[in-house]
A = this chain, B = another copy of it.
Amino acid sequence: MKLGAMQDWPLRVTRLVDHAEREHGGREIVSAWGDGSVTRTNWREVAAQARRMARALERLGIRRGDRVGTLAMNHAHHLTSWYGTVGMGGVLHTINPRLFADQLAFIANHAEDRVLLYDAAFKPLVETLKPQWSTIEQYICFDDGEFAQWLSAEDDDYRWVDGDEREAIGLCYTSGTTGNPKGVLYEHRSTMLHALMEVTPDVFGLSARSVVLPIVPMFHANAWGVPWAAPLVGCKLVLSADYRPQQMCDLFRGEAVTHSAGVPTVWLGMIEHIERTGEDLGLLQSVTIGGSAAPRAMIEWFRKRGVNVGHAWGMTETSPIGTCGAPPANWDEMTDEEQLDYVARQGRVPFGVELRIVDDEGRELPRDGVASGQLQARGPWIVQRYFKDEHDAADADGWFDTGDVAALHPDGTMQITDRAKDVIKSGGEWISSIELENCAVGCPGVAEAAAIGIPHPKWDERPLLLVVRAGGSGVGEPDIRAHLSRHIAKWWQPDAIEFVEELPHTATGKLSKKTLREQFRDYRFKDAEAMVGRD
């Protein structure tokens, strides 16, 4: 028997939209569509539509815990579908349309999605995959009035289901490692605590006055959590289905955007555009750059324009914020150069995240800014176990191995020094070099293949494929590309294929990527600017 108590109040994310509806109901949600048109709604309307959707899902027979997939860019309908799904106890599965077909088939089946909500732009993809998707019963298009029509039949007096704050709300697959993609199952509580942390001054610093334009897809770790954090403070949310720089600049100015977030590739495109056209960023106060390391010149560019840069690090498994580079206590005493050094590192942990680095034997290394080791994280929004996995992803003490290699500085900042996972980071998306290699060696005439990431001015990294021909084989680049195209997404195609006599191996016979990266350190793609990217 307790001697007294504060109130029970489960941390359910439906409270976020309830709060925004009640206290900030008229605050706008702006959607900029692929055709350049702009529509407006607000938190009151989003909440009402979400309640209609919760009822509509129940009418379809969707039950608590069932997965509802979305294959969509950023817009208010997509936002509505998040709150509608979690409001009736469903689990929102945000599918990344940039995955290749085999992965798309795998994850929707693995998730056992029962409904798929999709953008008209992905209709061809949906039609291609339908025969392989075995659990989806209902397909609803967000566009052409289909989604709105579906909701219009329902009343908006639905009451969110109650329940435990540890219930699942979201599923997000990550394809960075070998094997099949793995699903991270977000919970009410983890997402709520992440949202609370995210609005604090040392992370995004959001208030009721903020206008936020996330240039991060909603299928990327929930657009870095922004659609959950925004209603917590009642800020204005600007969503864009399209990241063309001119559309972005129009939104920045036209909607008086104060806060934005995106991967370096996005900012690179914006900066080039602004430098060329003389456009500006309007009232922008703060950008968060993450996904891969922000180049020093990019940080400088923003700083010269009076925009604060928060350099963030995280991953799907960390919800995603693991660190963010807000100014330290002694900021004002630092020289410009020192400030730049500080921001160029990956930031420091907010309350809720613990980081450590360990050596290959799992021994913790000092936080001296010199030692470099495997980066491990723990905290309430860090993964414990992947979806349907039989083993924990975190060890007995809660440490999750991030796959990154880093140094921790005495001032608390973290610096990524290398990557343990064998992935190539292209414009914020991961390309698995091992998948690429496995696929390449499947091509007749290829004896061995290795894929490594080469720095790229726009995409951060792009794959270079190194091929050893089988004895006597005359296999050429077109043969290999044709073979790859049957198995991988177009944007996974290497930017170059080079034929070599042999590849370096480690003592245990594995490909030595470390040696390869050293050998090709100065390699650059010819005419990288003109390369076709994935857009």
**A4 surroundings in chain B (CB, below 8 A):** 168, 183-185, 383-389
Interface-lining segment among A195-203, A212-220, A474-482: A195-203
A75 within 8 A of B: no
A residues 336-352 in Cβ contact with B at 8 Å: 348-349, 351-352
**A186 surroundings in chain B (CB, below 8 A):** 6
Whether the Cβ atoms of A380 and B5 lie closer than 8 Å is: no
Whether the Cβ atoms of A6 and B327 lie closer than 8 Å is: no
Whether the Cβ atoms of B5 and A329 lie closer than 8 Å is: no
Residue on B with the closest CB to A367?
A: B22
Of A184, A384, A386, the most chain B CB neighbours within 10 A belong to A384
A501 within 8 A of B: no
A496 within 8 A of B: no
Residue on B with the closest CB to A186?
A: B6
Q: Mark A18-35, 1 if CB is under 8 A from B, else 0.
A: 010011100100000000
Whether the Cβ atoms of B9 and A379 lie closer than 8 Å is: yes
Complex Cα spacing A186 to B236, Å: 34
A residues 152-188 in Cβ contact with B at 8 Å: 166, 168, 183-187
Whether the Cβ atoms of B199 and A201 lie closer than 8 Å is: yes
The answer, among B6, B354, B383, for a CB contact under 8 Å with A6, is: B383
Complex Cα spacing A201 to B235, Å: 12
Complex Cα spacing A7 to B397, Å: 11
Q: How far is the CB of A150 from chain B (nearest CB, A)?
A: 27
Whether the Cβ atoms of B185 and A6 lie closer than 8 Å is: yes
Residue on B with the closest CB to A16?
A: B351
A403 within 8 A of B: no
Complex Cα spacing A240 to B522, Å: 60
Complex Cα spacing A6 to B167, Å: 10
Complex Cα spacing A166 to B4, Å: 11
**A352 surroundings in chain B (CB, below 8 A):** 9
Of A4, A16, A385, A398, the most chain B CB neighbours within 10 A belong to A4
- A: number of interface residues (CB 8 Å): 70
Residue on B with the closest CB to A348?
A: B23
Complex Cα spacing A8 to B378, Å: 10
Whether the Cβ atoms of B197 and A206 lie closer than 8 Å is: no
Complex Cα spacing A354 to B388, Å: 37
A207 within 8 A of B: yes
Whether the Cβ atoms of B196 and A201 lie closer than 8 Å is: no
A residues 370-406 in Cβ contact with B at 8 Å: 378-389, 394, 398, 400
Q: How far is the CB of A83 from chain B (nearest CB, A)?
A: 15
The answer, among B11, B380, B388, B389, for a CB contact under 8 Å with A9, is: B380
A328 within 8 A of B: yes
**A15 surroundings in chain B (CB, below 8 A):** 351
Complex Cα spacing A24 to B383, Å: 26
The answer, among B233, B382, B412, for a CB contact under 8 Å with A202, is: B233
The answer, among B183, B187, B326, B383, for a CB contact under 8 Å with A208, is: B326
**A388 surroundings in chain B (CB, below 8 A):** 3-4
Complex Cα spacing A400 to B7, Å: 10
Complex Cα spacing A349 to B380, Å: 25
**A331 surroundings in chain B (CB, below 8 A):** 209
A440 within 8 A of B: no
**A94 surroundings in chain B (CB, below 8 A):** none
Q: Say whether, besides A4-B184, A6-B381, A168-B4, A208 and B328 are in contact (CB < 8 Å).
A: yes
Q: Say whether, besides A196-B196, A233-B351, A384 and B206 are in contact (CB < 8 Å).
A: no
A205 within 8 A of B: yes
A232 within 8 A of B: yes
Whether the Cβ atoms of A202 and B208 lie closer than 8 Å is: yes
Whether the Cβ atoms of A329 and B380 lie closer than 8 Å is: no
Q: Say whether, besides A201-B199, A202-B207, A384 and B6 are in contact (CB < 8 Å).
A: yes
Whether the Cβ atoms of B201 and A205 lie closer than 8 Å is: yes
Whether the Cβ atoms of A385 and B5 lie closer than 8 Å is: yes
Q: Say whether, besides A199-B201, A236-B329, A412-B24, A5 and B208 are in contact (CB < 8 Å).
A: no
Which residues on A are within 8 Å of B, measured CB to CB?
2-9, 11, 15-16, 19, 22-24, 27, 166, 168, 183-187, 189-190, 193, 196-197, 199-202, 205-209, 232-236, 319, 326-329, 331-332, 348-349, 351-352, 354, 378-389, 394, 398, 400, 412
The 3 closest A-B pairs by CB, nearest first: A4-B185, A9-B380, A6-B190
- Can you list 14 A-B pairs with a CB-CB distance of less than 8 A? A3-B387, A4-B383, A4-B389, A5-B166, A5-B187, A6-B190, A6-B384, A7-B190, A7-B380, A27-B329, A196-B351, A201-B207, A207-B327, A209-B332
Other than the given A201-B233, A235-B329, 12 more pairs (CB < 8 A) read A2-B168, A4-B385, A7-B381, A9-B379, A24-B329, A193-B196, A199-B200, A207-B327, A208-B326, A208-B329, A209-B331, A232-B351
